[in-house]
Structure 1
Amino acid sequence: MPQARIESLDHEGHGVAHVEGKTIFIDGALPFETVSYTSYRRKPTFENAQATEIQSESFMRVKPKCPHFGVCGGCSLQHMEFTAQVAAKQRVLEDNLQRIGNVKAQAMMPALYGSEWGYRHRARLSVRHVAKKGGMLVGFHEKRSSFIADMTECHVLPKSMSDQLPALRELTRKLSIFDRMPQIELAIGENITVLVFRNMEAITPEDEAHFAAYADQWGVQIWLQPKGPDTAYPLYPKDAPALTYEMPEFGITMPFKPTEFTQVNHGVNRVMVERAINLLDPQPGEVIADMFCGLGNFTLPIARRGARVLGMEGLQQLVDRAFEGARFNGLQDRTDFKVANLFEMTEEWLDKLGHFDKMLIDPPRDGAMELVKSISAETGPKRIVYVSCNPSTLARDANVLVNVKGYTLKSAGVVNMFPHTGHVESMAWFEKE
């Protein structure tokens, strides 16, 4: 069985080694370890592999807390000490900026992170009847598989939710549509937990009674979703209070629906928003753009500091909800929202929106290439804060901002939104000097 010496981690948390000129990405391996491995995917220039035996352990290796680690695909780094995970993600960001973006930040910001356990306030749990495993399975998929992990606990979920996993298996077993209900979406707000059951057939009165009993026992709301996310509706209780999350530093209460996108880690979201606003430093009288604004997670805190803000998003439904959030927080006079396909932005279209003193960009994993290409090198905003969920597309876009548009990358740093996973959230501050 081949062996390799691990040199670093990649952006997905795999150990990286080089064997006979080929790059090997090895699951379950940490830097400075020597491991035996078995390849499960071979390409001319690289291989994907699984560590089968650790010949010499890294000082960063710890015992995983979860008994399902290694089978469940929800986490990939529980075998790595928590602060070492954060440091490794910071190195991934620095490497991407240099290698892909040909840029280097003047300073690296300290990493932002919160609790390492119980942080996940959003999740999609798969549901499947598997007779060979005793009935219903409720949980995340196994690694590199469509099978569902046989889970009885999950430590990245809040304990109140982890404790419910066995009870959810029992509930789904009782339902008439147990084999026509592939997913349960979890959404947790301030003192409210919603479970959205994706029902592909109508439920019976007996099912409704089971749902009501479960909701009363566990103190949750039950919603049904017969088709797309827009069809989700409350089943029990009918008059349940709405989900919200708080940003007390800005006096903001954000209402949201259980199928709408919000950050999974409420605690880290608060410190992330606070850092972004401090970097942006909005002032009364300034006009600021919030690109890919979503529900207004950054828009409303910017407005609370006195600036006027234009939020732009690709879906009319999200823009409507952002308007509602602004009204809910009394910020409708300082905010405006527009629908725009920011992936097809042009310099002419951006110019028609008028001058912006500053800009916040918070795109999905694909990044914001067309948007940054459209920013004028002469009249563009003097300051840009870029919040990224993919360091490679951040680096690609930073290359344009620095090497084409003339911005300086003042600082960058990671935000550990997803502990025990390889996911790297990050933030960068660009200034026109």
Structure 2
Amino acid sequence: MRHSNRQKKPSKPQPSAAPIEVSISHLSIEGRGISHLDGKTLFVRGALPNEQIVARVIAQHKRFDEADTLEVLSASPDRQTPPCHHYDLCGGCDLQHLIPEKALSLKYELVLDQLQRFAQCQPLKTDNAISSSPFHYRRSARVGVNRLQRDQSLVVGFRRRQSSKLVNIDTCLILDKRLERLFELARHYFSEQQDNKTITHIDALLGDNSGALTFRVTRKPSDALKSAMVNLCNDLKLQGWIEDNDGNLVPIENNYSALTYHPSPEVNLNFKPGNFLQVNSQINHALIQLALEWLQPNSDDYLLDLFCGLGNFTLPFAKKVNKAIGVEGMMSMVKQAQDNSESNQINNTLFYCADLSSDISHTPWFKEPITMILLDPPRSGAHTLVSQIASKKAKKILYIACNPAALTRDTQALRAAGYQLSRFTVLDMFPNTSHIESVALFERSK
């Protein structure tokens, strides 16, 4: 990985630091332009490869500095005007100044470069990147709510760039269109409520034709505030839930039907507020089809699906294999996955709750005759897990990664255990951001 000094506290540049003119050579894995200044690497937000820009240093570190773009003197042909008028302030997107097709291409190159440089590995086959609609793709989001002390006005929006403070948002181009009026309506309904400071944020989670808003509160809301929540949810045709300080979830009203989505045409999954769903349903469908194509399951196979969630991959695979075993770290998700298996009348699944960062060798599910493994770990990857699953000598392992650095590290471990990286691609799960979703197929070396 390039520079992983995020946890170090930056020193503040001198207030009198003058703007500097620099040339940008390439893009970092975090989506920032890279230049060099006084023998140090300079990461420049808002800059693109092959540009000449004017920048201002905003943070200094021992080995590198950080800067913001002030002016573009010579623009890349891949630069575009950011379509969102909140882009300069909002911290949600960081690549709207780069045309989406080029952004996906650069992401692909960046992951391949990391694999080559740090794992000394190149895939035997690279598939075309899988693109997504660049806007209105996101079906889950956390929207902050805060009442300002100075004038008691209500701010509803996202965190500012490099800040914990909120910026007021009118509308968000990457959110599902069903959430288009969320910000406007929240300000409308909550601004006049005396206890609106009770709400710290709103979590939105959407299925195919249903969805929910969860209001995180610091204390029990008044009847008037609860009524405002109901009005907001009714206007958006969404369910309303309240989450307290202890994480308890209760519905605002009691006439709710199940929240559902289809990961594949033949499987219907129920979910609840707080559950994890892949944020981009278009790419989720493509990802499941890709997994089925690459792993090529048949009726003799035993699939082990690690970090299985609600059964997003487990249940579509269960229709193809002898047995599908899903393992997840949250018991509530395991119970939901079991219920989903039953409601889909799928009888060849087993679901377990386990800490996948610990020793799994003693677990009953790990003793099954596993022939293929699918894992979709969090950003931290699966460092303690890969050496253990490699010992099963499954013929294929499909690794879905949201962090190129973790994938690179875990690729080294899998190759050392006798696997080769046979196939690779990138999917545009998060358009207009620097986040990268990759898929790597590892097969036992002959």
Could you say if the C-alpha distance between residues 7 and 228 of structure 1 is closer, same or farther in structure 2, counting changes exceeding 3 Å? Answer: farther
Within the candidate set 421, 426, 445, 1:414 is matched to: 426
Supply the distance in 2 between the matched residues of 1:207 and 1:352 (Cα, whole angstroms): 49
Q: How does 1:29-428 map to 2 (within 5 A)?
A: 29-130=47-148, 135-229=153-247, 231-236=248-253, 238-249=254-265, 251-331=266-346, 333-345=347-359, 353-376=367-390, 380-402=393-415, 404-428=416-440
Supply the distance in 1 between the matched residues of 2:389 and 2:217 (Cα, whole angstroms): 45
Supply the distance in 2 between the matched residues of 1:248 and 1:375 (Cα, whole angstroms): 27
Structure 1 equivalent of residue 14 of structure 2: none
Could you say if the C-alpha distance between residues 245 and 300 of structure 1 is closer, same or farther in structure 2, counting changes exceeding 3 Å? Answer: same
Supply the distance in 1 between the matched residues of 2:198 and 2:111 (Cα, whole angstroms): 42
Contact 2:189 2:231 in 1 (8 A): no
Supply the distance in 2 between the matched residues of 1:287 and 1:257 (Cα, whole angstroms): 28
Q: Quote how far apart the aligned CAs of 1:174 are.
A: 2.8
Unmatched runs of 5 consecutive residues or more in structure 1: none
Supply the distance in 2 between the matched residues of 1:88 and 1:368 (Cα, whole angstroms): 25
Could you say if the C-alpha distance between residues 248 and 316 of structure 1 is closer, same or farther in structure 2, counting changes exceeding 3 Å? Answer: closer
| Equivalent position SS for 2:168 | coil
Contact 1:355 1:380 in 2 (8 A): no
1:431 aligns with 2:446: no
Q: Quote how far apart the aligned CAs of 1:314 are.
A: 1.7
Could you say if the C-alpha distance between residues 243 and 154 of structure 1 is closer, same or farther in structure 2, counting changes exceeding 3 Å? Answer: same
Q: Quote how far apart the aligned CAs of 1:347 are.
A: 5.3
Q: Quote how far apart the aligned CAs of 1:91 are.
A: 1.1
Matching residue's letter, 2:58: Y
Matching residue's letter, 2:423: S
Report the TM-score, using the length of structure 2 for normalisation: 0.92
Matching residue's letter, 2:439: M
Could you say if the C-alpha distance between residues 290 and 134 of structure 1 is closer, same or farther in structure 2, counting changes exceeding 3 Å? Answer: same
Contact 1:138 1:169 in 2 (8 A): yes
Could you say if the C-alpha distance between residues 431 and 172 of structure 1 is closer, same or farther in structure 2, counting changes exceeding 3 Å? Answer: same
Matching residue's letter, 1:83: E
Q: Quote how far apart the aligned CAs of 1:117 are.
A: 0.5
Supply the distance in 2 between the matched residues of 1:363 and 1:350 (Cα, whole angstroms): 21
Q: Quote how far apart the aligned CAs of 1:220 are.
A: 2.1
Structure 1 equivalent of residue 10 of structure 2: none
Supply the distance in 1 between the matched residues of 2:108 and 2:321 (Cα, whole angstroms): 33
| Equivalent position SS for 1:342 | coil
Contact 2:126 2:425 in 1 (8 A): yes
1:2 aligns with 2:20: yes
Supply the distance in 2 between the matched residues of 1:367 and 1:74 (Cα, whole angstroms): 23
Matching residue's letter, 1:271: A
Q: Quote how far apart the aligned CAs of 1:278 are.
A: 1.2
Supply the distance in 2 between the matched residues of 1:311 and 1:215 (Cα, whole angstroms): 34
Matching residue's letter, 1:415: L
Contact 1:375 1:405 in 2 (8 A): no
| Equivalent position SS for 1:209 | helix
Supply the distance in 1 between the matched residues of 2:139 and 2:366 (Cα, whole angstroms): 39
Q: Quote how far apart the aligned CAs of 1:134 are.
A: 6.9
Could you say if the C-alpha distance between residues 256 and 125 of structure 1 is closer, same or farther in structure 2, counting changes exceeding 3 Å? Answer: same
Q: Quote how far apart the aligned CAs of 1:113 are.
A: 2.1
Supply the distance in 2 between the matched residues of 1:118 and 1:313 (Cα, whole angstroms): 29
Matching residue's letter, 2:413: V
Q: Quote how far apart the aligned CAs of 1:233 are.
A: 1.8
CA offsets per residue over residues 193-217 of structure 1, 9 Å max, x none?
A: 3111112111222223323333333
Q: Quote how far apart the aligned CAs of 1:3 are.
A: 2.0
Matching residue's letter, 2:167: A
Report the TM-score, using the length of structure 1 for normalisation: 0.94
Q: Quote how far apart the aligned CAs of 1:103 are.
A: 1.1
Unmatched runs of 5 consecutive residues or more in structure 2: 1-18
- The ranges of structure 1 where at least 4 consecutive aligned residues each deviate by more than 6 angstroms after the TM superposition are none
Q: Quote how far apart the aligned CAs of 1:324 are.
A: 1.0
Structure 1 equivalent of residue 13 of structure 2: none
Contact 2:79 2:98 in 1 (8 A): yes
Matching residue's letter, 1:423: H
| Equivalent position SS for 1:70 | coil
Contact 1:347 1:373 in 2 (8 A): no
CA offsets per residue over residues 145-192 of structure 1, 9 Å max, x none?
A: 011112111100123312231111122213332112110000111222
